[in-house]
Amino acid sequence: MEHYHMNLTLKVWRQKNSQTPGNFETYNVNDVSSEMSFLEMFDVLNERLISEGKEPVTFDHDCREGICGACSMVIDGRAHGPWGGTTTCQLHMRAFKNGDTIVVEPFRANAFPVIKDLMVDRSAFDRIIQAGGFISVNTGNAVDGNAIPIDKDDADKAFAAAACIGCGACVAACKNSSAMLFVSAKVSHLALLPQGKPEEKQRALQMITQMDKEGFGGCTNTYACEAECPKEISVMNIARLNRQFLKASIEEE
């Protein structure tokens, strides 16, 4: 597609911290290139705000290449914006046209308190991972990969689940703020492989318990999470986790 420039109106959520109520501020950004990424467009706005002596918009980012999961924003009502299977940092301005008004908000969930503006605290995810504990492996040299036979189908499913970048879009997209897609991806990528089997049930129980403690809601199978996930993690992982959880709970009794 031809490279073009556009003038845009941004309605951006500004919020000092989680204790202070926030509000939308309107900014006009002119001469935005269709080649820019969404975050580069914010960089341009921030440069201008700084030169005007105003507070730049705080937003989270790190890799800017779809790996770290930091760039959590809701753009025009969609976590990570209008493109499917794409993080905000990989969203390009050619997704928009001249004269558009774009509404940008932080991920909204009780378990993700706003740190400032568009940046939320997603450390609840870290605590869920920690609750999952360890996998048992012998120390020493790594075993030759071919020494552990793994079914191709299981290897593929584990690999697909391991693509989860912990961004939290599944939570932001869910009307219940459920973290089940994230937790199920993290449980599945280990549980499907022989190395993750010994602690499989305990891991599922501990991670789900932590998820509930953090205040994420329950899953009611609306699949909004799968639709908004930038890594297209399948809801089949949730079904697998539910089976594991049930089995583990029965055995615990």
Binding site for ligand SF4 (CB under 6 A): 69, 164-170, 181-182, 185, 229-231, 233
Phi, psi of 229 (to 5 degrees): -65, 125
The option from ligand FES, ligand SF4, none interacting with 164 (CB < 5 to 8 A, set by class) reads ligand SF4
Q: Under 8 Å CB-to-CB from 212, ≥6 apart: which residues?
A: none
Pairing of strands 101-105, 5-14: parallel
Quote the DSSP letter at residue 217: B
Tell me, by CB under 6 A, how many residues bind ligand FES: 13
The least distance separating ligand FES from the CB of residue 172, rounded to whole angstroms, comes to 14
The least distance separating ligand FES from the CB of residue 88, rounded to whole angstroms, comes to 6
The option from ligand FES, ligand SF4, none interacting with 70 (CB < 5 to 8 A, set by class) reads ligand FES
Integer Cα distance of 211 and 219 in angstroms:
12
Contact 200, 191 (CB under 8 A): yes
The option from ligand SF4, ligand FES, none interacting with 12 (CB < 5 to 8 A, set by class) reads none
Nearer Cβ to ligand SF4, position 166 or 217? 166
- Which residues in the 23-62 window bind ligand FES by CB under 6 A? 61-62
Integer Cα distance of 242 and 247 in angstroms:
9
End-to-end CA distance of the chain: 61
Nearer Cβ to ligand SF4, position 73 or 185? 185
- Which residues in the 55-114 window bind ligand FES by CB under 6 A? 61-64, 66-71, 87-89
Contact 191, 94 (CB under 8 A): no
Site residues, ligand FES (CB under 6 A): 61-64, 66-71, 87-89
